[in-house]
Amino acid sequence: MATYREAVSKVINVFKMNNKDDKPSSRFILQLIKDTLSVLIAQKWLDRSILSETNLYTIIPCFEFTKVETKDCPSIDFRLCNTLMKSTKPLPKLVFSRLGASIKNVVSLDGNFTFTFLDEAQHRRNSKRQHSLKNEVYVYLGSDNHLYIPDQEIYSIDLTVLTLNPEDACSECLKKDCKSNWDYELVISDKLLDAVYGQVYQTLGITRQIRADENPNNIAGA
């Protein structure tokens, strides 16, 4: 897979953008690539055609939690819990579809226990049950993009997620392996490679044409 730097360079080289006034910034191009990817991956996530592609997933080891006052929780539903753990950091931006957030696995640090991941709406439904399921520990994604664990005192878990921003997934125990942002590899499926670049080229082409039409007489500031 290409790094961010390589992916952006490929787009710039295709357009041969040598005029600085005409060339979008590298950050703009990278965000355009990611936005395009997000839409296409969400579609493929929904039809489950890329769930088995392990290269798309980012593992976040020892994702840390801290105990918080339930009254301070942004979700009213969690204020009824006896104990509430909140992740010390928000998750990196995930891909969403009608199936929900792209969290594949939530496991204990020793790998011997798998948590049940649910969203807040599912938590509300669970809270109305007369009897909770035994031997299940629930992890919920809040509206603030933090993870919550109600009624359990757990301080660290391992996650496997699909995010287009793996640079934001560098946990405390990975600090020594963190890279410069531009050296991270683009999260992309081989099935989507041509489609992503094709749509990016098309979008940039349309953008360039609109700019030209806005100043037909090349009058600065028109």
Tell me which residue of 109, 15, 119, 131 sits closest to 63, measured CA to CA.
Answer: 109
As a whole-number percent, the residues of the chain with pLDDT over 90 amount to 25
3-state DSSP assignment of residue 177: helix
Q: What is the C-alpha separation between 156 and 65, in angstroms, rounded?
A: 6
pLDDT digits (tens, 9 = 90+) for 171-204: 666 666 677 889 988 888 877 888 999 999 888 8
Residue 117: both structure tokens together: 């991941």
Pairing verdict, β 116-119 and 138-141: parallel
Q: How confident is the model at residue 85 (pLDDT cuts 50, 70, 90)?
A: very high
What's the pLDDT at 22? Answer: 67
| Every domain of the chain and the residues it spans | 4-51+183-214, 58-161
Q: Residue 17 pLDDT > 70, yes or no?
A: no
Q: How confident is the model at residue 36 (pLDDT cuts 50, 70, 90)?
A: very high
Q: Residue 126 pLDDT > 70, yes or no?
A: no
Tell me which residue of 206, 202, 213, 211 sits closest to 14, measured CA to CA.
Answer: 202
Q: What is the C-alpha separation between 123 and 78, in angstroms, rounded?
A: 9
More confident residue, 37 or 100: 37
pTM for the full predicted model: 0.76
